[in-house]
Structure 1
Amino acid sequence: MPDFSKTLRVLLSASTVIGVCALGQTPVHAEDAAPDQAVLDRGAYIATASDCIACHTKPGSQPFAGGLKIATPMGDVISTNITPDPDHGIGKYTEQDFEQAVRHGVRKDGAYLYPVMPYVSYAGMTDQDVHALYVWFMHSVKPVASAPAETTLVFPANMRSAMAAWNFVTTKEEPESGDSSTYNPLRRGKYLTNALEHCGTCHTPRNFMLSEKQDRYLAGTSLDGWYAPNITSSKTGGIGNWSEDDIVAYLKTGHANGHAQAAGPMAEAVEHSTSHLTDQDLHAIATYIHQVPAMDDDMEHQARDSFGKATEALDIRQSAPTRIDDLTEMDGQHAYDANCAACHGQTGMGTKDQYAPSLFHNSTVGSARPDNLIMTILHGVQRKTEAGDVSMPDFSGHSDVQRLSDDEIAKIVNYVMATFGSGDPHVTADQVAQFHKDK
């Protein structure tokens, strides 16, 4: 039997955008006179903060032309063309059409969007920001005359009309009012976190109806193989021990020294969105996150980044190292030495500049859940910001490095977490194989 709950969870987790518009505004079309530059600049910034490009741009294709596949057990959800092309994109959308799609999940022809597009979060956008975003799309985005393939899901996910009932029962952000650029830091941070960056879409667990659990806001949840961690102010389960500057550094570069590094969907969010925000806005987000009520975690009883220390380096003057070729079966330590130590060091300290991060005082290794360490080894890390490019190869056979077997990955995970982190999670090869299927 198909896992419908899992399908909807995937549909609800991705970060897809389709555009925005303001109620009561005069319709604007691509052929109209060029609008004020300040409106265009504002719209460009809102598009970045909302991370539109991440889901509406297929690798190697034109920006916002769609075609990115989001795999689910019920089929691929394919992002749409949101360029102002009149026949293949949104060029014929009025502001009202645009607003209905972004805030309410209803496209121009009246069909319901799948909640892979987080309109429940964008519902909180101000009219002014919606208007600016619409104007920017219509005047600054290059039209692309190509139509992505249609999304075709199997029953019952193919019934878009069923989304009407879900929209009725789910909790949406309340629209903000006024000029969002004039909000005080706490209100601005809340607006950015909830409406634009839609952090709760990934970091808040969901109920049986797959709506966000408001009483577990930002408390962490599984996400397409990854685990979006607890980012509340809890000092054990969350990031309550991070300073405001730590949060800002993480959002700006994807790296918070002695705490965490962004990989997977979070690396994409940093690369395409948060790294381009102003320092003032990043501090506003940090200010808001710091006051989110603490939610402790049933599995995390000590701060994830507080575990571990450097190990003793092997002194070959006292004992000769074992040749890997001489081993009949490679254990976790030797698998680590052969595949990981060149970058992270035999002692786990990483490189001096932390390009290859330390494995102790590392949230991924110190977590009680091995999910993100498994996914990082399987899929690697790719992240580009003004601070530089960060790259770790994947070991699942897609990069130039040698593919590791599921058994070898399990042994490395167990060794790394036992040596530098929260303890041996006793991961098996079968469990690693399941992460291949979940992705």
Structure 2
Amino acid sequence: MPETVRKTFVSLLVAGSILAGTSHYCAAADEPDAALIQRGEYLATAGDCVACHTRPGGKPFAGGLKIATPMGDIVSTNITPDPDHGIGAYTEEDFEKSVRHGVRKDGSYLYPAMPYVSYSGLTDGDVKALYAWFMHAVKPVAETPTETSLSFPANVRTAMAGWNMLANHNPPETGDSATFEKMRRGRYLANALEHCGTCHTPRNFILSEKQDQYLAGGPLDGWYAPNITSSKTSGIGDWSEDDLVQYLQTGAVPGRSQAAGPMGEAVEHSTSHLTDADLHALAAYILQVAPQEEEPGQKPRDSFGQATAQPDIRSGDLTRIDDVTELKGGAVYDANCAACHGYDGAGASNRYVPSLFSNSVVGASRPDNLIMTVLYGVNRTAGKTHAFMPGFDGHSDVQRLSDAEVADVVNYVMAQYGNGNPHVTADQVKTFHKK
């Protein structure tokens, strides 16, 4: 190789090495510090992002979960940092527009199943921390979920611009949210990160939250997110701060309530991971929310019932295994519920299986959550405690109950241990089946 060519070649190699080193240095300089990433992880947990952006059996944050709405199923998107299938090409500004304003990088509008009307209240610093965590700590997944397909007019995404103008949005908080005093921190957690109102606040005809009925309760994909205002009869005003902290931390408060369905998921993936200080701040704020009364003169949901005087409701008659005759409420309870909840409804002595009296699900005026629990069971893990009850719908591996049998056992349990007899019918149960 001629000397001049060799020198030129060496010079190019050196220059390339310098440029490569400079490029690596810049990338390292752009890497957010560990504390910011760690904060972003905590915020994403508080926001329960994984719940909606992970389909059953899917990879975390890869999307694909179907969220039922009156207009059809909304399919959650991939929010991993994959540049082609997720949000890897998003700048921090793009990310902020999506999270706080519901506008994607391509300018199209998100549906409010994504609670950006709540996340709009996030501080700038917390948005920055969330962006740092998603971009630098979440594993990219090269999967594109199926597209959302809704009926007209919801399928016209541009119409969401008008909805955004009419819907109530939280104004963004200022300052460092980690330094907020207790009540302000609780409000920030409840209204922005935990977005409690998304489920627990009823909605108007355009599906925007009714702010004058904040946390008064609302339907949610078959379940009913109950009134959690400070009303001592309709809400949870008779709970102590420690009661609510225990519920958010473990999903159960014996003699009061147990979390199942979407709330069970929120406890498992979000609230059980919050610090004690944040749980107490959140509980303190919720317990001072203005009371919303439902039925004047009613008793608190968790104050109904007592153990039945008759400890054994078995008839003594044997039932053939091939007898498919539909059973009535007491017989259904005897065959499927009494082994765990007791023939007297008192549950297990160690309280792993809850009693059916002094139980807010059984004592509620609406049977929704009891029907859903019978159909789909409970499967919740908080810390090291796994709470499980099998479901009894048509896909059950334990016992498949007909709609009439579900209706009868719900009527039996609510009449025996709860708020009277709700007169649930088989046709009503049929409406609770998931598609």
Q: 1:222, 1:348 → 2: CA distance? A: 27
1:321 aligns with 2:316: yes
Paired residue for 2:192, among 171, 190, 195? Answer: 195
Paired residue for 1:331, among 328, 331, 341? Answer: 328
User: Counterpart of 2:208?
Assistant: 211
User: Counterpart of 1:115?
Assistant: 112
How far did 1:320 drift? 6.4
Q: 1:315, 1:126 → 2: CA distance? A: 58
Paired residue for 1:366, among 346, 363, 368? Answer: 363
Q: 2:397, 2:30 → 1: CA distance? A: 50
User: Counterpart of 2:257?
Assistant: 260
Q: 1:93, 1:30 → 2: CA distance? A: 16
Label 1:393 to 1:41 Cα distance change in 2 as closer, same or farther (>3 A).
same
The one-character-per-residue Cα deviations of 1:345-394 (angstroms, maximum 9, x if unpaired) are 00001111221110000000001111110011011111011141111111
1:431 aligns with 2:428: yes
Label 1:148 to 1:327 Cα distance change in 2 as closer, same or farther (>3 A).
closer
AA of the residue aligned to 1:36: D
Paired residue for 2:390, among 380, 383, 393? Answer: 393
Which runs of structure 2 are paired with 1:404-423 in the superposition (5 Å)? 404-423=401-420
Gaps of 5+ in 2: 1-25
Paired residue for 2:39, among 35, 39, 42? Answer: 42
The one-character-per-residue Cα deviations of 1:188-237 (angstroms, maximum 9, x if unpaired) are 00000000000000100112222111111001111121111000000000
TM-score for the superposition, normalised by structure 2: 0.90
Paired residue for 2:71, among 68, 71, 74? Answer: 74
Label 1:329 to 1:111 Cα distance change in 2 as closer, same or farther (>3 A).
closer
How far did 1:331 drift? 2.2
Q: 1:281, 1:315 → 2: CA distance? A: 45
How far did 1:313 drift? 3.6
Point out the more displaced range, 256-265 or 147-156.
147-156
Paired residue for 1:310, among 301, 307, 312? Answer: 307
Paired residue for 1:161, among 158, 162, 165? Answer: 158
State whether residues 324 and 334 of structure 1, in contact with CA within 8 Å, keep that contact through their aligned partners in structure 2.
no
The one-character-per-residue Cα deviations of 1:292-320 (angstroms, maximum 9, x if unpaired) are 0111113882100000000124469xx96
User: Counterpart of 1:220?
Assistant: 217
SS state at 1:436 partner? coil
RMSD value, Cα: 1.9
How far did 1:147 drift? 1.1
User: Counterpart of 1:138?
Assistant: 135
User: Counterpart of 1:5?
Assistant: none
The one-character-per-residue Cα deviations of 1:241-292 (angstroms, maximum 9, x if unpaired) are 0011110010001101110000111001111100100011000011101110
AA of the residue aligned to 1:105: G
How far did 1:72 drift? 3.5
SS state at 1:76 partner? strand
Q: 1:119, 1:261 → 2: CA distance? A: 28
How far did 1:321 drift? 3.2
SS state at 1:410 partner? helix
Paired residue for 1:61, among 58, 76, 89? Answer: 58
1:98 aligns with 2:95: yes
Which runs of structure 2 are paired with 1:160-179 in the superposition (5 Å)? 160-179=157-176
State whether residues 345 and 355 of structure 2, in contact with CA within 8 Å, keep that contact through their aligned partners in structure 1.
yes
User: Counterpart of 1:126?
Assistant: 123
User: Counterpart of 1:274?
Assistant: 271
How far did 1:183 drift? 0.7
Point out the more displaced range, 73-82 or 305-314.
73-82
Q: 1:156, 1:113 → 2: CA distance? A: 15
SS state at 1:414 partner? helix
AA of the residue aligned to 1:427: V
**What is the count of residue pairs matched by the alignment?**
408
State whether residues 299 and 368 of structure 1, in contact with CA within 8 Å, keep that contact through their aligned partners in structure 2.
no
Q: 2:199, 2:120 → 1: CA distance? A: 17
How far did 1:30 drift? 8.5
Q: 2:48, 2:431 → 1: CA distance? A: 29
How far did 1:152 drift? 1.6
SS state at 2:379 partner? strand
Q: 1:315, 1:273 → 2: CA distance? A: 40
Label 1:301 to 1:32 Cα distance change in 2 as closer, same or farther (>3 A).
farther
Q: 2:83, 2:330 → 1: CA distance? A: 58
- Identity of counterpart residues, as a percentage? 67
SS state at 2:388 partner? strand
Gaps of 5+ in 1: 1-28
How far did 1:238 drift? 0.1
